[in-house]
Structure 1
Amino acid sequence: MTSKAWLVIGIELILSLLVIHFLLGKVLDETKRADAAEQNLKLANATITDMQVRQRDVAALDTKYTGELQDAKATIDQLELDVATGKRRLQLNARCTTNGAASTTSMDDGIGPRLTDSAERDYFTLRERIETVTRQLTGLQEYVRTQCLK
């Protein structure tokens, strides 16, 4: 073989190596992209599974508390019906105070019925608790809006 032939073979060999190097780089890049896509797919599947579990948990809580709310409403409705039909009596502990004058058999000197001290305390305790629950609920709703729904 002549030196010219060896030169042509050498150039072809160098070109072949460059093409192989280029293609090998492309294969490695595609392999990295495929690995990244596979990792993203695994992450997406894990996220979907987690969301499904959370949805089931929320549905179970919703069913539980909806049932309890319906039971409580049914109890209150039944009590209201029992009072309306006379099966049960609704009592209010109240007192009628006088204007300070000695009372005869007349009812004119009464100021009017008032709640007893304990009923009045209970009323304000309930008002306070309602306000507390309202504030807590407002705070929780804000938490859901700003943190959970992001």
Structure 2
Amino acid sequence: MNIYLTAPLIVTVLALGWAADHYHSKAIAWRTTARQSQQLAKRQATTITDMTQRQQQLTALDKTHTEALSAAESENDALRRQLAAGTRRMYVHAKCPVSGTGTTTAASGLVNGAAVELATDSRRNILDIRAGIIRDREKLKYLQDYVRTQCLK
């Protein structure tokens, strides 16, 4: 009679042991998966935060250089208007070549070191060149700041 009671008891204990081991293994696998998911979520959150900070830095950098370029172009345009209105003049400090006799060229009527006013076309060309230099300088400053703040991190 003892055998009839012990056999089902042993079977029940073995079944419970197998079930406990099975669910324990599943719980460990789920815990591992949860930890990996948590680590991935943290990395993604860090990446998003970094991207947001970089975007804000780039926006500030862009704003700064756009304002500087706009101010420089406004200054150049004001100079262009002043020259067109005649309230300002553009002179070139020039030295005339000396002829073989040791005197200045008589045809030019200029003395070495005299100031010469530029023609309208020349003024316009110089201002166009100046505007190009201003744009190129600002672009170069922007790119240098970009490399310094974004690429060298």
Matched, 1:50 2:53: no
How far residue 41 of structure 1 moved from its aligned partner, in angstroms, is 1.0
Aligned partners of 2:82 and 2:88 also within 8 Å: yes
Structure 1 unmatched runs, 5+: 115-129
1:62-104 deviation per Cα after TM superposition (whole angstroms, max 9, x unaligned): 1111001100010011112211221101011111113212659
Distance 1:17 1:38 in 2: 31
**Identity, % of aligned pairs?**
31
Distance 2:18 2:100 in 1: 115
Aligned 1:28-107 pairs, distance under 5 A: 28-101=28-101, 106-107=106-107
Aligned 1:94-133 pairs, distance under 5 A: 94-101=94-101, 106-107=106-107
How far residue 105 of structure 1 moved from its aligned partner, in angstroms, is 8.1
Question: Cα distance 1:21–1:105, how it changes in 2: closer, same or farther (>3 A)?
Answer: closer
Distance 2:105 2:54 in 1: 69
Output the aligned Cα RMSD.
3.2
How far residue 5 of structure 1 moved from its aligned partner, in angstroms, is 3.4
1:15-73 deviation per Cα after TM superposition (whole angstroms, max 9, x unaligned): 22012101111111101211221222122112212221221121112111100110001
Matched residue type, 2:66: T
Structure of higher RCO (CA pairs closer than 8 Å, 6+ residues apart): 2
Distance 2:104 2:92 in 1: 25
Aligned length: 121
1:101-147 deviation per Cα after TM superposition (whole angstroms, max 9, x unaligned): 26598417x9xx99xxxxxxxxxxxxxxx9xx99xx5xx68x96xx9
Runs of 4+ in 1 over 3 A off after TM superposition: 102-106
Aligned partners of 2:83 and 2:89 also within 8 Å: yes
TM-score (norm 1): 0.66
Distance 1:102 1:54 in 2: 66
Question: Cα distance 1:100–1:38, how it changes in 2: closer, same or farther (>3 A)?
Answer: same
SS at match of 1:97: coil
Distance 2:45 2:14 in 1: 46
Aligned 1:5-24 pairs, distance under 5 A: 5-24=5-24
